């Protein structure tokens, strides 16, 4: 089966897009400059857009264009240029053996270069001229030549690329521009938050966003105009979410989806102070008053509706990226989250989430609160020159995720033998437990069990400490036999290290000698202990 176009025809799909495919008048457009910097500009019809030292251009040149193209700027006119692909670089024998720092290699003076720039010479010609004048250019390696050309291009090129305001690009732009304002939410952190919160079209979400609206922008983008997003803010007017403006959303994406309350109006027992809007018709004196009253009524109705919606609860998830105490937020809002709903809290600081997790464990409303730190590494991809980028972001903050549950206080945990505390019942079967503490924990435990079989002690005795081969051997007397040693070794080692120890036993070369010595030592210790008691 071949689908040329799927069940949805192109025009209806475009209406459902969260933004126009082409740049519209009034849009905030991100431009990538030759040096890699990203600049945001407002594109208004019939205006001139200034791009720093690169110059300016007529906004109409961009309007109607798709995102992602590269333009060269000349006399306020834009010329689209084909996208650049990577160039293969030939390997050469050249090295920097004969190149010294501080040598005079460029006879072209700054004044001459400025003149060339002013005369409108194309950047590629200018670089060519510089290369011709350069005394040591031919000595450079091919990689170095590439770098040189790229550097010059960054300096002189009057081009830029429009960046599609996808969530990824907008988040990256803000993170590089001012990460504090988006509370260190890096693009990978945001992506994980959206997935963990199970954001989908048609869902209902409760959000506290003090990260300039980045989280709100992400959720709106994913919802695509279907569902409900209720945010709680700390202002008495509707919150400003500046990041949302960068997304150039169509109106349907926000209107009918995004509503807000603040920390006062979100309290159930608080009665908001609202001026009366239901005035008898005979008291309305002017049209102006009438329209003002209508407006007031609309605001009041929206507030009442939104409050009712919050208090009726059953939200799919709660997402928090706030400057306020997260525990206080959770306590207030968790009643409105549906069973099995996700709770996602982001913070730039681990300590805040660590304390939060401890507090969450004191109640039984949260299943498995887990903290993770997103980690991201970008690579430079160039033929023959691929490596992780030299500068990278140190942190994208931390994420706590939990699932809201309905507790059953009558349910009791099942207890497994390995979790039980050994009983101190006195029995006639007495054994010895060797407690070995060392980095080589694994193999030693195998030893323990063997010794257990060899040394059968008949009477109780005081503990003995043996120090040998930089490993401490605690000999404890235990009022039970083998089972306990099994239980103890099972409990003290993780499953992985236990398995490793099993597979390494016997044939392990590390130990043979040391291991035999240890057995002897332990036997001695046991005898010593016996004698001491006798």
Partner 1 sequence: MWSTAREIAAGDLVIIWLTRDLVQPLIITPGKDFNSKFGHYRHADLVGIPYGSKVASRTGKGFIHVLRPTPELWTMALPHRTQILYLADIAFITSHLNIKRGSRVIEAGTGSGSFSHSVARTVGSIGHLWSYEFHEVRASKAREEFARHGMNDIVTLTHRNVCKDGFTVTDAVDAVFLDLPAPWEAVEHAKVALRKDRTTRICCFSPCMEQVMRTVNALNDAGFTEITMYETLLRPIDVSHVPVLQPVGEISEKLKQAERKREDKRLKQIAAGRQSTSKRKREDEGTPVKDQTIMEEAAEEAAGGSKRIKTDDEDGAPLDAVPTPAMDLDPHEESDAALPTTVASPPAPSPSPIAPKKISVSKVMPEVRGHTSYLTFASLQPFEPPAEPAPSAAAAMLAPKPKP
Under rule CB under 8 A, which residues in 182-211 are in contact with partner 1?
A: 187-188, 190-192, 194-196, 198-202
Stretch that binds partner 1, among 4-12, 284-292, 295-303, 499-507 (CB under 8 A): 4-12
For the record, the structure tokens of 509 come out as: 């070369």
Nearest distance from C-beta of residue 37 to partner 1, angstroms: 16
For the record, the structure tokens of 355 come out as: 């304390």
Identify which of 475, 482, 488, 474 has the alpha carbon closest to the alpha carbon of residue 430: 482
Q: In whole angstroms, what is the distance from residue 430 CA to residue 461 CA?
A: 11
Closer to partner 1 by CB, 285 or 387: give it. 387
Residues of this chain, 83-102, that bind partner 1 according to CB under 8 A: 83-86
Residues of this chain, 217-246, that bind partner 1 according to CB under 8 A: 221-226
Stretch that binds partner 1, among 299-307, 326-334, 361-369, 514-522 (CB under 8 A): 361-369
Q: In whole angstroms, what is the distance from residue 357 CA to residue 349 CA?
A: 13
Residues of this chain, 424-443, that bind partner 1 according to CB under 8 A: 437
Which of 34, 341, 431, 442 touches partner 1 (CB under 8 A)? Answer: 341
Nearest distance from C-beta of residue 441 to partner 1, angstroms: 9
Buried b or exposed e, range 328-360, using 16+ CB within 10 angstroms: ebbeebbebbeeebbbbbbbbeeebbeebbebb
Residues of this chain, 319-338, that bind partner 1 according to CB under 8 A: 338
- Does position 282 bind partner 1 by CB under 8 A? no
For the record, the structure tokens of 345 come out as: 């809290």
Closer to partner 1 by CB, 202 or 272: give it. 202
Stretch that binds partner 1, among 97-105, 283-291, 371-379, 509-517 (CB under 8 A): 371-379
For the record, the structure tokens of 58 come out as: 């007529």
Closer to partner 1 by CB, 199 or 233: give it. 199
Closer to partner 1 by CB, 79 or 292: give it. 79
CB 311, CB 268: distance < 8 Å:
yes
Residues of this chain, 441-470, that bind partner 1 according to CB under 8 A: 462-465
Q: Would strands 204-209 and 315-321 be described as parallel, antiparallel, or unpaired?
A: parallel
Closer to partner 1 by CB, 26 or 339: give it. 339
- Does position 390 bind partner 1 by CB under 8 A? no
CB 436, CB 446: distance < 8 Å:
no
Closer to partner 1 by CB, 289 or 372: give it. 372
Stretch that binds partner 1, among 3-11, 114-122, 231-239, 269-277 (CB under 8 A): 3-11
Closer to partner 1 by CB, 374 or 511: give it. 374
Closer to partner 1 by CB, 210 or 433: give it. 433
Q: What is the DSSP string of 197-213?
A: TT--TT-EEEEEE-STT
Closer to partner 1 by CB, 59 or 187: give it. 187
Identify which of 368, 229, 250 has the alpha carbon closest to the alpha carbon of residue 306: 229
Stretch that binds partner 1, among 228-236, 406-414, 506-514, 517-525 (CB under 8 A): 406-414
Stretch that binds partner 1, among 43-51, 127-135, 152-160, 491-499 (CB under 8 A): 491-499
Stretch that binds partner 1, among 48-56, 61-69, 297-305, 514-522 (CB under 8 A): 61-69
Q: How many CB atoms lie within 10 A of CB 161?
A: 18
Measured torsion, CA atoms of residues 484, 485, 491, 492, in degrees rounded to the nearest 10: 140
> What residues form DSSP beta bridges with 232?
261
Q: In whole angstroms, what is the distance from residue 455 CA to residue 40 CA?
A: 78
- Does position 2 bind partner 1 by CB under 8 A? yes
Q: In whole angstroms, what is the distance from residue 197 CA to residue 337 CA?
A: 12
Compute φ and ψ for 286, nearest 5 degrees.
-140, 165
Q: In whole angstroms, what is the distance from residue 446 CA to residue 409 CA?
A: 42
- Does position 74 bind partner 1 by CB under 8 A? no
Residues of this chain, 492-531, that bind partner 1 according to CB under 8 A: 492-494, 496
- Does position 166 bind partner 1 by CB under 8 A? yes
Identify which of 71, 65, 73 has the alpha carbon closest to the alpha carbon of residue 84: 71
Closer to partner 1 by CB, 272 or 339: give it. 339
Measured torsion, CA atoms of residues 22, 23, 28, 32, in degrees rounded to the nearest 10: 80
Computed on alpha carbons and rounded to an integer, the radius of gyration of the chain in Å comes to 35
Sign of the Cα pseudo-torsion (406, 408, 409, 413, in order): negative
- Does position 386 bind partner 1 by CB under 8 A? yes
Question: How many residues bind to partner 1 according to rule CB under 8 A?
Answer: 114
Which of 25, 60, 65, 508 touches partner 1 (CB under 8 A)? Answer: 65
Which of 45, 378, 385, 512 touches partner 1 (CB under 8 A)? Answer: 378
Nearest distance from C-beta of residue 48 to partner 1, angstroms: 20
Q: How many CB atoms lie within 10 A of CB 530?
A: 15
Stretch that binds partner 1, among 18-26, 205-213, 509-517, 518-526 (CB under 8 A): 18-26
Closer to partner 1 by CB, 351 or 427: give it. 351
Q: In whole angstroms, what is the distance from residue 358 CA to residue 18 CA?
A: 40
């Amino acid at each position: 089966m071949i689908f040329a176009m799927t069940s949805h025809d192109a025009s209806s799909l475009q209406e459902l897009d969260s933004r126009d495919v082409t740049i519209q008048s009034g849009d905030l457009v991100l431009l990538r400059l030759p040096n890699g910097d990203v600049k945001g500009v407002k594109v208004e019809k019939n205006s001139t857009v200034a791009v720093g030292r690169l110059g300016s251009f007529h906004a109409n040149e961009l309007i109607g264009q798709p995102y992602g193209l590269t333009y060269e700027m000349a006399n306020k006119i834009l010329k689209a240029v084909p996208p650049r692909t990577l160039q293969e670089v030939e390997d050469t024998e050249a090295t920097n053996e004969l190149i010294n720092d501080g040598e005079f290699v460029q006879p072209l003076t700054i004044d001459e270069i400025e003149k060339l720039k002013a005369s409108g010479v194309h950047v590629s010609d200018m670089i060519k001229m510089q290369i011709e004048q350069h005394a040591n250019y031919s000595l450079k390696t091919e990689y170095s030549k590439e770098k040189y050309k790229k550097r010059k291009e960054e300096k002189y090129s009057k081009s830029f690329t429009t960046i599609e305001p996808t969530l990824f690009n907008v988040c990256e732009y803000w993170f590089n521009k001012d990460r504090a304002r988006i509370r260190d939410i890096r693009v990978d952190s945001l992506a994980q938050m959206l997935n963990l919160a199970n954001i989908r079209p048609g869902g209902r979400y409760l959000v506290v966003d003090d990260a300039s609206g980045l989280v709100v922008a992400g959720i709106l983008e994913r919802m695509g105009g279907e569902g409900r997003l209720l945010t709680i803010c700390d202002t008495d007017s509707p919150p400003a979410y500046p990041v949302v403006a960068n997304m150039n959303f169509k109106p349907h994406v926000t209107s009918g989806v995004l509503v807000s309350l603040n920390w006062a109006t979100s309290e159930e027992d608080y009665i908001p102070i609202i001026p009366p809007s239901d005035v008898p018709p005979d008291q309305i004196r002017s049209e102006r008053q009438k329209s003002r009253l209508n407006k007031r009524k609309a605001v009041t109705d929206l507030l009442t509706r939104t409050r009712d919606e919050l208090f009726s609860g059953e939200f799919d998830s709660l997402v928090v990226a706030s400057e306020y105490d997260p525990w206080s937020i959770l306590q207030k809002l968790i009643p409105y989250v549906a069973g099995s709903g996700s709770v996602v809290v982001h913070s730039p600081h681990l300590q805040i989430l660590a304390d939060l997790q401890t507090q969450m464990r004191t109640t039984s409303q949260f299943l498995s609160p887990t903290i993770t730190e997103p980690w991201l590494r970008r690579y430079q991809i160039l033929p023959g020159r691929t490596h992780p980028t030299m500068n990278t972001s140190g942190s994208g903050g931390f994420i706590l995720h939990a699932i809201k549950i309905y507790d059953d206080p009558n349910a009791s945990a099942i207890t497994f033998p390995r979790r039980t505390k050994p009983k101190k019942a006195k029995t006639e079967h007495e054994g010895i437990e060797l407690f070995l503490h060392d980095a080589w924990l694994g193999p030693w435990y195998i030893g323990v069990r063997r010794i257990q079989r060899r040394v059968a002690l008949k009477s109780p005795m005081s503990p003995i400490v043996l120090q040998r081969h930089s490993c401490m051997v605690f000999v404890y007397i235990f009022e039970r036999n083998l089972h306990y040693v099994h239980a103890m070794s099972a409990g003290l080692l993780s499953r992985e290290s236990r398995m490793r120890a099993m597979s390494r036993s016997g044939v392990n070369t590390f130990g043979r000698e040391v291991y035999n010595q240890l057995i002897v030592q332990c036997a001695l210790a046991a005898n010593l202990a016996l004698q001491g008691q006798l």
